Amino acid sequence: MNEVLWNRLTAAQLRELAARDAVVLLPVGATEQHGPHLPTGVDDLLAAEVSRRAALVAAEHTGVVVTPSVWAGLSEHHIAFGGTFTVSLSTLHALLRDICRSIVRAGFSRILIVNGHGGNMTALNALTTELTAELSVPLACTSYFTAGREAVRRTLETQPGLMHACEGETSLMMAAFPELVRTENLGSARGPEITLPAESTAPVYLAVPFDRITESGVAGDARAASAEKGERLLAGCARALADIVLGDPWHRAVNPARVPAR
């Protein structure tokens, strides 16, 4: 079966996948400003697209299905630019709890949350812990750009990792959704470099609105982007995500290695 998208499958097909102990990928993104050249749906679109590609790779070896994406996340820091939806932490928790509960009630037990938004990272790690306890199911969580960190590092020329509306995200959009990239605005699509909160080594964290960091709404330099780089990023991140699925982290959570007695 080549179809991997939950909402394109019948209930009978999904019951069959559940009976095979298929993995469920749950993309979580955001809808927020992405500078003068990219649409607000970047994080949502890319989380879903990388998940779809990863599922097609992994489906050669195991059952896998991709749910509809969660298109709103924690985006308070982008509100000043307009065009942004944001939800509270409690709302995100409640929504993911109910979605994951529905997945479990449909017969699935292996769920991987695939994040596409830097502002969600630390929250999703914490929520994964809470939801694992609440639902008694070992959830797993990753960000597609963290899973594909090495592919990102090898591909980009002006930055070591994804930032915001940058060389990386713009390249990905050029490859996956070229019709949505406003190339005529690329000349002004640049800003200071940033480190994602979950990857920062700073000794203190402050919630800083994004308009205090960059006037353009961009962090990094989108002028170096290309569709060729985007295809390499998509392939590398999808492969890395598929490797996580095939590595079966849920088995380790359910059957932890015993610590030898002393």
Q: 169: buried, middle or exposed (CB in 10 Å: 19+, 13-18, 0-12)?
A: buried
pTM over 0.85: yes
Q: How far is 59 from 19, CA to CA, in rounded Å?
A: 15
Report helix, strand or coil for 28: strand
> Domain 6-248's class?
alpha beta
Q: Where are the domains of the chain?
A: 6-248
Going residue by residue through the chain, which has 262 residues, state the pLDDT in tens, using 9 for 90 and above: 589 999 999 999 999 999 999 999 999 999 999 999 999 999 999 999 999 999 999 999 999 999 999 999 999 999 999 999 999 999 999 999 999 999 999 999 999 999 999 999 999 999 999 999 999 999 999 999 999 999 999 999 999 999 999 999 999 999 999 999 999 999 999 999 998 877 788 888 888 999 999 999 999 999 999 999 999 999 999 999 999 999 999 987 766 554 444 4
